Structure 1
Amino acid sequence: MYDVMGGTVDEPDPETMRRVLDGLAQADDEHPDVSLTHESGWCLSVFGGGLLLWENPDEEAVAPGEMRNVGREEILRLFGLLAAGDISSIEALPWQR
């Protein structure tokens, strides 16, 4: 997981995910997001205002998806799914591509 300043946290627990997400309050143009990446390459990036980006840079055949106005608890739920490797549940959501 990457915090808003680019610091890394390996295998974050739910409390650490909450703390990293809280760090978005300090986001700026140079450091606009926090993210969680699974070992499979899938990544959820969260930007201020609830913009969520879902992508796997290693999968060129799959376009990145986005959702807007995603609430904090839903973001944390999705982080939990990704940390558990439940890619199919996240992929099944209505991503705008």
Structure 2
Amino acid sequence: MSYFMYDVMGGAVDTPDVAEMGRILDGLSASDDEHPDVSLSHESGWCLSAFASGLLVLENMEDGSASPGEMSEVGRADVLRLFGLLAAGDITALEKQAWRR
């Protein structure tokens, strides 16, 4: 499965491992209004965006019929766990999470 991440400055990182995902997530400490998030995108079209506030947004960038979901105050460990599910292509497990739609 193919996936990639954008860091807080918009730089792309192909197939990062968990350690690299953590480093990219840590970059949120340098976020600002122009660069507020980091994201992981999967070849299926699903994308997870994480914000410094703890907001996590799940959306399918290729399927307009799929409702986006949000979670608030998501901790670092949970963000990394959810990034891992998306990286593995486990969309079913990802969609079973407590998303507000």
In which range does the TM-score fall when normalised by the shorter chain? over 0.9
Distance in structure 1 (CA, Å) of the matches to 2:43 and 2:66: 17
Select the residue among 63, 72, 88 that pairs with 1:59. Answer: 63
Select the residue among 77, 80, 89 that pairs with 1:73. Answer: 77
Q: Is 1:88 paired with 2:92?
A: yes
In structure 1, the residue corresponding to 2:43 is in which secondary structure?
coil
Moved over 3 A (4+): none
TM-score between the two structures when normalised by the length of structure 1: 0.98
Structure 1, gaps ≥5 residues long: none
The total of aligned residue pairs comes to: 97
- Name 2:33's counterpart in structure 1: 29
Select the residue among 40, 43, 48 that pairs with 2:47. Answer: 43
- Between stretches 27-36 and 86-95, larger displacement belongs to 86-95
In structure 2, the residue corresponding to 1:43 is in which secondary structure?
strand
- Name 1:10's counterpart in structure 2: 14
Structure 2, gaps ≥5 residues long: none
TM-score between the two structures when normalised by the length of structure 2: 0.94
Which whole-Å deviations, capped at 9, do the CAs of 1:44-84 have from their partners, x for residues lacking one? 00011110000002111111110000010000001111111
